[in-house]
Amino acid sequence: MDSNRNEQINQDYQSSLDEKYARILFQDPYYKSIIDTKEFRRLKGISFLGAIDKTHNCPLKKSNRLDHSIDVAKLALHISKARCYSHEVEKLLVSSALVHDIGHAPLSHSMESSFYKEFQLNHHIASENILDGKNDNKLSKILKKNLDIKQLKEIINQSSSEDFSDIFSSPINVDTIDGIHRSLRYLGVSSNTFFNVYDVAEAAFLKDQLSRTKQLDKFWKCKQYVYEHIITSGVGALADYFSKEVFYDNLSRINPSYFYKREESFFNNQNPIFKGLIGKLSSAVVVLDKKNIEQYSDSITEKNFTIFKRSYKINNDIDLPNCSSNSINERYYVEKKEESLRLHFYLDNNESKTKQMKLF
């Protein structure tokens, strides 16, 4: 009873803050001018999880980079106001949050390595091009008129030495707080059961939070859960594999300008460049039962992938409430190692009668 009541209070608190900061973003003439640019609106056509978003029927609405950027901006606003920052600092941090993903390509990370190999373009380079105004875009003009572009890029790139830049450079930052939250929603998990984004942001950046250790530990475990069940579970590797396959099958039709387009440009034309990709992604079946591997060996593809396994560790010797401002960096860390992942899968356009498992 108390647990359900607390969860409802938690949800109401997050909803009220979401509404409050959404009003500020959409009513403030400066922030709204950023949101209304075609460069920012393009992010609505960029899937948050890239090709993974196309792999199955998500229990909840699929997400995009525009929604993510606005929600990161809400967190930046929340912390800026709680820390009583000047209007100029607040404007810099919120602007950085709004445009931190401005250079992401269609299908995001799933397509990026192919674009970089062929055209030397990734989202970092594309962001620089957009923010520097190389294409004479409106967004760059608005930003340059209102703040220091160099300082904004340093915050986004996590190279700023300013104290207030920690909301982007900390291991637990406004970008990853929202990213993990919406990834849990993607998996069909009630993320409010795990954490409230504003609670986590307050625990990470407002030093007087006595319960911060418990909240941040829970978040760090959620991050591990997301990486295990999405990024390094095999679904990411298979989604990237199909994306690269279709990219190179149609390389003659692709040029660098496509990096700056929406995903509709690849899927919704009369003669779509990536015809068949969504069909492949949505019909892929991973075979887990060894008996079925033998039984359907003629139709099953076996492939080895290289993945970078991440383990999100907690150093329990570091006590957050009584430590220095670097305590988060000391308590929470990541171990990475390269591993080989072998998958058995086939494409099934019909309902499978065998007990298989879709990518999720």
**CATH number of the structural domain spanning residue 212:** 1.10.3210.10
CA distance 34 to 25: 10
Please give the DSSP secondary-structure letter assigned to residue 47: B
Mean pLDDT score of the chain: 87
Taking every pair of Cα atoms in the chain, the longest distance, rounded to a whole number of angstroms, is 67
Region 313-325: mean pLDDT is 80
How high is the pLDDT of residue 335?
95
Select the highest-mean-pLDDT range: 31-35, 228-232, 290-294, 305-309.
31-35
Domain count, the chain: 1
Is pLDDT at 19 greater than 80 in this prediction? yes
pTM listed for this prediction: 0.91
pLDDT band of 238, cuts 50, 70, 90:
confident
Q: Is residue 213 in a domain?
A: yes
Is pLDDT at 352 greater than 50 in this prediction? no
Is pLDDT at 57 greater than 60 in this prediction? no
In the sheet that 301-314 helps form, which strands lie side by side, from edge to edge? 301-314, 332-347, 284-286, 357-358
Domain span at residue 239? 25-272
pLDDT band of 283, cuts 50, 70, 90:
confident
pLDDT tens digits, residue range 123-162? 999 999 999 999 889 999 999 999 999 999 999 999 999 9
pLDDT tens digits, residue range 82-121? 999 999 999 999 999 999 999 999 998 899 999 999 999 9
Q: What percent of the chain has pLDDT over 90?
A: 58
From the number of C-beta atoms within 10 Å of its C-beta (0-12, 13-18, 19+), residue 54 rates as buried
Q: Is residue 102 in a domain?
A: yes
Is pLDDT at 294 greater than 70 in this prediction? no
Q: Which of 140-149, 256-265, 348-357 has the lowest mean pLDDT?
A: 348-357
Q: Is residue 18 in a domain?
A: no
pLDDT tens digits, residue range 66-84? 999 999 999 999 999 999 9
From the number of C-beta atoms within 10 Å of its C-beta (0-12, 13-18, 19+), residue 238 rates as buried
Q: Of 151 and 357, which is predicted with more confidence?
A: 151
Q: Is residue 107 in a domain?
A: yes
Q: Is residue 303 in a domain?
A: no
Is pLDDT at 9 greater than 60 in this prediction? no
How high is the pLDDT of residue 192?
57
pLDDT band of 1, cuts 50, 70, 90:
very low
Q: Kindly state the tokens that stand for 233.
A: 């579970």
Is pLDDT at 332 greater than 90 in this prediction? yes
Region 343-358: mean pLDDT is 60
Q: Is residue 249 in a domain?
A: yes
CA distance 301 to 102: 37
DSSP assignment of 108-171 equals THHHHHHHHHHH---HHHHHHHHHHTTT--HHHHHHHHHS-HHHHHHHHTT---SGGGHHHHSS
Query: From residue 61, how far is each of 68, 199, 265 by CA, in Å?
Result: 13, 24, 21
Q: Is residue 267 in a domain?
A: yes
Q: Which of 60-64, 126-130, 339-343, 349-353 has the lowest mean pLDDT?
A: 349-353
Is pLDDT at 260 greater than 90 in this prediction? yes
Region 327-337: mean pLDDT is 92
How high is the pLDDT of residue 357?
41
Q: Is residue 312 in a domain?
A: no
